[in-house]
Structure formats: structure tokens, C-alpha cells
Structure 1
Amino acid sequence: MRSNPPPGRDMPTRPAPHATKSLVVAGESVAQTDDIETFLIRFDPLEQRRQIREGMEAAIIERVAKDLLHVPVQTLLANLNLPSSTILRKMAREERLSPAESDRVARVLYVRQLAVEVFEDPALAAAWMQRSNAELAGLSPLEVLDSQPGYDRVREILLRVIHGVSA
């Protein structure tokens, strides 16, 4: 299994799957359901960095919450320590997230992708991200992704599972 490294490190390159609706990501037209895959897989780390610095589209919050994690938007916002009213306003106005907000969302995307590789099932990965974890002082992985140290710890736990070390 290949894991997604933290922002700024080498990532695998492969084309994103196809879909019907499109929107523009980094100047390229990609399928609406594929832009998360595009961000994670097709873009190199420098392009990912550029996307984060320019700000992701606020609509990604709803898709990550509902489609990837199966949680209410408010739950995702609370776990990432993002201001609900600000983010909901940006979503309604079709604005971009700030670089800091985008970085927190990117952490969720990286961890979720790694969890899917570990558990080989998106539903199991989403459930694991919401479950209390003793190695995180009883918090869920999703609850600690609001900071880089939390991201690092969750990634370390998943990498230990990949390498067969007791987690």
C-alpha cells in the first residue's frame, strides 16, 4: 500500500476518474465529483500547496462532510475548529476558503485517503476517523486534525498499521 504523505512531500500521480459535471480546479476543468481525487492524486505537492494558498472552494466542506465522512457539516466545522458562520457564508456565496481553512481541509483529505488505503473500505475509514482512539487521549482522529501535531499523530498511527506495527 502507498500512503499519502503530508503536504509538500512526493505523492503518486495517476489520472482522476471521470464524471459528468465539471468545475475549474487550478485552471483545469475537472469533474465535480473528481476534484478531491484530482487534488490528492494528480496534483504534485507544489500544486497542492498552490491550491491551499489560493484557497479551496468552500463547497468542498459539504462534500467532505457528507460524501466522504458521512457527518453533518457542523460536525466537520467544529472538529476542524472552523467558524461556522464564516464558512457557511462562504459556501452560500461560492467563495474560497482562506489558506488556513484550506490547510485544515487538506489534512482531512490526506488522512481519509490514507485510512481508505489501510482499511480498504471508504465506510470503514470514515467510521475509524470518528471513533475514539486511546492513542489520541480518547479523541477521534477527526477531532485532532485541526493542528499539524494532531495530523502527524494520526498519520503515524495509520502508517504503523500499514507496516504491521501494533497501533
Structure 2
Amino acid sequence: MFWICTEAAIDWKAVSAVGQLTLGLAVGYVAFRQWRTAQAQAETARRKLRADLFDRRFAAYRRIVDICDAIYDMPGTIEDHRFVLEKWMELERLSKEIGWIFDAEISRYAAEEMVPYTWEISALISVLEECKSDPDIPVPELTLLKAKVVLQQRLGELTKLMDPYLKVGH
């Protein structure tokens, strides 16, 4: 600091300038660190949003798969008729909900291609029970099995539509 002090006289302007410069650099450094922290927090929030959206999508997909599997595995008694009606209502509700987390095409496919088959399966079970009580009516067990198989095929198509969305990065 010999350049500030000249023969017992202190150059207060130079001391003030060095202090202001140091203070300015410190403030700039703190601002830069805050900006970096904000950038890191924003990236963390984006990743969390993607992970949460994946969790919601996967949960909806699993519910649809569980509904279709449960319908496929049931034998076809009158209790199953009530069960399928409940699953039909759940699948119809899900087909509307998935429009919020997937795109409209997936929601439309579920509503137009899958929900009607659960209704048809329910109706076939009801007819099947009537056929068991009246031997003159032909039993539509093969038709029920075909409807179940078609529902599983539709589930496969829905899975293909959903597949790009069932990745954490999407």
C-alpha cells in the first residue's frame, strides 16, 4: 500500500476506490452464486416434475392393466357381472382422467375401443347366467371368451400408444 501513502499523507480517494471495487466484486460473486443456485433448483424442479408425471402415468397404466387382467381371469358368474360393471365404471372414469396425463388420442382410444368391450363382457355374462337357467338358449361362452381376448388385444394396442410416455424423461 505504499502507493496510497505518500509521505504521511493518505490518499483517501484511492482507499475508497479500492474498497468500492472490493465490495462490488464481493456483491457480484454473491449474485453469481445465487444465480447458479437458482439454476440448480430449477433443474431439480424440472426433474421432479418429470418423475411425478411418470409416476402418475405409470399408476394409471397399471390400473388399466389390472382392470383388464381381472376381467380376463374371471369365470363369468353373476357375481362377475356386478364386478365387471364396477370395472366398466372405473375404466370409463380412467379413460377421461388419462386425458390429463397422456394425450387426447390415448384417452379417446380407451374410451372408444376399450370401455365398450367391458360393457359387452358384462352383458354377455348376464346372458350367460340366463342361458344356464334355460337349456333352450344357446350358451355364448365362446363369444364371452372372444370379447375377453379382444379386450386384451385392445390393451396391447393401448400399451403401444402409451409406451413413449412411460419413460421417466418424457
TM-score calculated relative to the size of structure 1: 0.28
Q: Whose helix proportion is higher, 1 or 2?
A: 2
Higher RCO by CA contacts (8 Å cutoff, separation 6 or greater): 2
Mark the structure with the bigger radius of gyration: 2
Q: TM-score when scaled to structure 2?
A: 0.28
